[in-house]
Chain A
Amino acid sequence: MKDIKDHTDIPGWGMDADPENEPTYPMKNYTGDDHNRINYERSEQQPPTVEILVSTERPAITRVFGTSAPPSGLSGMIRRYAFKHSEDRYRHWIPLILADRINTIEGLIDDVTKGHIPNVAKERGWRMELEHNAKGFLGKTLLCSLTATAVAVYLLNKKK
């Protein structure tokens, strides 16, 4: 029976191949290992001590991974949903962006419940702005305040 990978009976098979033509060089030192796919020596597996969400485009978890900020709360639920879909899908990325925004609010709630009132001005580095760009910063702040006030007034009037 003919080997499925044997194409030598096809006229001209491989005759124009040029191993020197490697557009990815020098970034990539082509060795042919790509054709071994995912068969390579691996390190030991890092034990999963926290919940790790894994891309559906992988057969399994990687040998090492970060354990920072495991999924939790509502944002975690949304992230778990996102990871049911491949990296190719908008339903993977859009929920992740939404989860990030919800996670910010969760972070605020978490701070307050732990008795920590966040110093937003310090966290946002406003001191730097005032020191080096006072005029521009105050102008921008005034503009934002006026816009927010105008929107609030409009919405209140609309209710009436």
Chain B
Amino acid sequence: MLAMNYRGPYRIRAEQRPMPEILHPEDAIVRVTRTCICGSDLHLYHGMVPDTRVGMTFGHEFTGVVEEVGPMVQNLKVGDHVLVPFNIACGKCNFCKQGLYGNCHESNPMATAVGGIFGYSHTAGGFDGGQAEYVRVPYADVGPTVIPPEMDPDDAVLLTDVVPTGYQAAEMAGIKPGDTVVIFGAGPIGIMAARCAWFFGPSRVIIIDHVDYRLEFAQRYAKCEAYNFKSLGDPVVFLKKTTDWYGADVCIDCVGCEAEGNTLQTLSGRITLMQAGSAIALQWAINSVKKGGIVSVVGVYGPPFNLAPIGNILNKGITLRANQASVKRLLPKLIEHVQAGRLDPKGLITHRIPLEEVSDAYRMFSSKLDECIKTVLIPSAKA
């Protein structure tokens, strides 16, 4: 089968690889119909995530048709067209039982801090991902959800990560009617977080980034205010000023460890790797939020540590909430939003590229070329 193959930082290729096999009675083999490149994949692509091994296939956003099921799979049958959440969750451990599917305790032997994630390094379990024609899906009875027949497959593939992560970013922020919400990062997750924030009744949603085309897209798609931090001088002062010198009620970090905007953070975090990436977006979020405010984090930060203003979290009495999205928990609500026309996930998609051209697709997304917001890779395997 054709699959993406990681060869080192900034080097990937599509090549023939062995077909995945059922390795556990609760496995399924899925023929991928659509798969996306996520902003989180760029952290792997840039070599920022420890234990990202050469020969691995990335991809944690995919839909596909069930080709084979293990003997203990009961909820899926061959031929089902499913969307597969990015979290690999057993459904039985105490974390899964309480809805924390992103924190499953039985899907990642390599680390306890994070549950298993498809195609996301060995730090997240060493599973090959969905940027391939076929993929092994463990715990197939738990995560995979049959796509409603009337749902557009492009909407479905974005329900595997982008929409739930954007929604949970807003949900964790505890937005109250009338709140001012500031979102750092106008990538797909930030844009979706801005769009989903409106479900909670804020009076203002502001998005901050440094790429004009992304800001224009965010403004159009998420109906929010958009500002380029490069033209603001000091973004924290700007945000204080625009909130009556009070601070935002809520700040959401949708950037993670590769934020631009601060030379010291870039030098120590992105160039010399003295810390696990640049944490400037988190710093801005902590420093821009009001006292007693909430900071929600869905941007990916890797081990071992980041320089962030912990002292201000204490002094300002900030509540910090963060997690990988629990896709399965959120799916029923999000499917309803999509079916009712309240959300248009596929509106994020700007590029459709064959899996064979995965190297170009990564480069385009990484370098922000051709006004790329979201790329869908289309594998060509036939049933």
Residues of B within 8 A of A75 (CB): 53
Are B367 and A118 neighbours in the complex by a CB distance under 8 Å?
no
Are A26 and B53 neighbours in the complex by a CB distance under 8 Å?
no
Residues of B within 8 A of A49 (CB): 23
Question: Which of A28, A99, A119 counts the most chain B CB atoms within 10 A?
Answer: A28
* Distance between B172 CB and nearest chain A CB, rounded to angstroms: 6
Q: In the docked arrangement, what's the CA distance between A119 and B116, Å?
A: 32
* Distance between B23 CB and nearest chain A CB, rounded to angstroms: 6
Closest to B91 in A: A43
Q: Which of A42, A96, A129 contacts B363 (CB 8 A)?
A: A129
- Stretch in A1-9, A10-18, A57-65, A147-155 with 4+ CB within 8 Å of B: A57-65
Q: In the docked arrangement, what's the CA distance between A140 and B21, Å?
A: 44
Interface residue B51 (Cβ < 8 Å from any Cβ of A): yes
Are B363 and A27 neighbours in the complex by a CB distance under 8 Å?
no
Are A27 and B360 neighbours in the complex by a CB distance under 8 Å?
no
Q: In the docked arrangement, what's the CA distance between A127 and B359, Å?
A: 9
Q: In the docked arrangement, what's the CA distance between A124 and B98, Å?
A: 42
Interface residue B13 (Cβ < 8 Å from any Cβ of A): yes
Are B97 and A125 neighbours in the complex by a CB distance under 8 Å?
no
Residues of B within 8 A of A159 (CB): none
Residues of B within 8 A of A92 (CB): 303-304
Fill in one digit per residue for A58-95: 1 if any B CB lies within 8 Å of its CB, else 0.
10011111111101000100010011000100101110
Are A104 and B112 neighbours in the complex by a CB distance under 8 Å?
no
Are A31 and B97 neighbours in the complex by a CB distance under 8 Å?
yes
Are B107 and A69 neighbours in the complex by a CB distance under 8 Å?
no
Are B55 and A129 neighbours in the complex by a CB distance under 8 Å?
no
Closest to B273 in A: A97
Q: A64-B139, A68-B55, A123-B359 are in contact. Are A128 and B98 (CB under 8 A)?
A: no
Are A107 and B55 neighbours in the complex by a CB distance under 8 Å?
yes
Q: A64-B24, A125-B360, A129-B369 are in contact. Are A118 and B7 (CB under 8 A)?
A: yes
- Stretch in B74-82, B123-131, B233-241, B284-292 with 4+ CB within 8 Å of A: B123-131
Residues of B within 8 A of A38 (CB): 94, 105
Q: In the docked arrangement, what's the CA distance between A64 and B110, Å?
A: 11
* Distance between B140 CB and nearest chain A CB, rounded to angstroms: 11
Q: Which of A102-160 contact B (CB under 8 A)?
A: 103-104, 106-108, 110-111, 118-120, 122-129, 131-133
Q: In the docked arrangement, what's the CA distance between A83 and B98, Å?
A: 29
Q: In the docked arrangement, what's the CA distance between A47 and B27, Å?
A: 13
Closest to B118 in A: A66
Q: Which of A40, A41, A96, A118 contacts B50 (CB 8 A)?
A: A96
Are B55 and A64 neighbours in the complex by a CB distance under 8 Å?
no
Closest to B372 in A: A132
Q: A65-B126, A87-B112 are in contact. Are A133 and B369 (CB under 8 A)?
A: yes
Q: In the docked arrangement, what's the CA distance between A124 and B366, Å?
A: 11
Are A33 and B94 neighbours in the complex by a CB distance under 8 Å?
yes
Q: A27-B168, A87-B303 are in contact. Are A54 and B94 (CB under 8 A)?
A: no
Residues of B within 8 A of A79 (CB): 51
Interface residue A36 (Cβ < 8 Å from any Cβ of B): yes
- Residue pairs across A and B with Cβ atoms less than 8 A apart, 27 shown, are A27-B172, A28-B100, A33-B98, A34-B94, A40-B94, A41-B92, A43-B24, A43-B25, A44-B72, A63-B106, A64-B24, A64-B26, A65-B109, A66-B126, A66-B127, A68-B55, A68-B122, A96-B51, A97-B273, A100-B51, A104-B7, A104-B8, A106-B54, A107-B54, A123-B11, A128-B367, A133-B367
Please give me the 3 A-B residue pairs with the lowest Cβ-Cβ distance, nearest first.
Answer: A125-B363, A104-B8, A66-B126
- Interface residues, chain A, with chain B CB atoms under 8 Å away: 23, 26-31, 33-34, 36-38, 40-44, 46-47, 49, 52-55, 57-58, 61-69, 71, 75, 79, 82-83, 87, 90, 92-94, 96-97, 99-101, 103-104, 106-108, 110-111, 118-120, 122-129, 131-133
